[in-house]
Amino acid sequence: MKELIDQMNQTIRLESTPRRIVSLVPSQTELLYDLGLENEVVGITKFCIHPDNWFRSKNRVGGTKSVDIEKVKSLKPDLIIGNKEENEQGDIEELKKIAPVWMSDIFNLEDAIEMISKIGEITNRRAISLQLSAEIKAGFSDLKNQRMVSYSKSVFYFIWNEPRLVAGKNTFIDDMLTKCGLINLMDDDRYPEVQDNMSPDLIFLSSEPYPFRNKHIEEFKVIYPDAKIVIVDGEMFSWYGSRLTKAPGYFTQLLDKIL
């Protein structure tokens, strides 16, 4: 019997290395793929779109916030992996009756790297997880060294339209904006509705969870005529798994283009 502590400081107990895993978070599903757990992952959500072959072939257990409990039960998992923000507490409590549930709780890059390392340990993929963590650290170190200290541009990062919600403080997105050398103009925590009486230098319209498209740029130009408005890849700013190996390169290209 092995006892492990998750990122919500909860103890989970595993009889052995997991062989039947259900993942309830898209970015963590992608991580499990990159850790080489093709045979071990037996269930994912309908939002776990990467990798495409898993999205098309793996059993789907509903959405991140509407898990099909009976479907999960039928898969007979020996480990379920979720996230405090992505998943509903009620679902998690029901799932704990089926199998051990390991929960992540991520606010910044350091939390994400810790999660990657811990999941690597749980799944007996420690070497690969450490390699991914080292690659992520190196990428963000390069990003920090390359960015201009004089950026100091303010930004609103929109995640939803009508109501217009932005990423505030104490979010992973806020930490990514900071890593880019940008100033998040929204001081409120989490995902507040924005007031139109502020004037950021930049408006980022995220491709997810709301699918902002180029047609929305004109709408926002009316509200923020002096801001530079761009569509950004929401996965790069909000996915905290192995996609972080690609994020620094994306951020560098984005900043070079808009600043």
User: Which amino acid appears at position 186 of this protein?
Assistant: M
> Mind listing the pLDDT tens digit of every residue in the chain (259 residues)?
889 999 999 999 999 999 999 999 999 999 999 999 999 999 999 999 999 999 999 999 999 999 999 999 999 999 999 999 999 999 999 999 999 999 999 999 999 999 999 999 999 999 999 999 999 999 999 998 876 544 689 999 999 999 999 999 999 999 999 999 999 999 999 999 998 778 999 999 999 999 999 999 999 999 999 999 999 999 999 999 999 999 999 999 999 998 8
Domains of the chain: 2-105 (3.40.50.1980), 146-258 (3.40.50.1980)
Instruction: Give the residue carrying structure tokens 């679902």.
Output: 91
CA angle centred on 48, ends 47 and 54, rounded to 5°: 135
The pLDDT tens digits for 63-113 are: 999 999 999 999 999 999 999 999 999 999 999 999 999 999 999 999 999
Supply the mean pLDDT for the chain: 95
**Has this prediction a pTM greater than 0.85?**
yes
SS3 readout for 190-232: CCCECCCCCCCCEEEEECCCCCCCCHHHHHHHHHCCCCEEEEE
Contact 19/110 with Cβ under 8 angstroms? no
25-40 b/e (C-beta count within 10 Å ≥ 16 → b): bbbbbbbbbbbebeeb
User: Which amino acid appears at position 255 of this protein?
Assistant: L
**Residue 51, preceding bond cis, omega within 30 degrees?**
yes
Other beta carbons within 10 Å of 175:
22
The per-residue pLDDT for 150 is 47
User: Which amino acid appears at position 91 of this protein?
Assistant: D
The per-residue pLDDT for 220 is 95
Q: What is the DSSP string of 128-142?
A: HHHHHHHHHHHHHHH
Q: What is the DSSP string of 4-68?
A: EE-TTS-EEEESSS-SSEEE--HHHHHHHHHTT-TTTEEEE-TT--SSHHHHHHSEE-EETTEE-
Q: What is the dihedral of CA 220, 226, 232, 237, to 10 degrees?
A: -110
**% of residues, the chain, pLDDT over 90:** 92
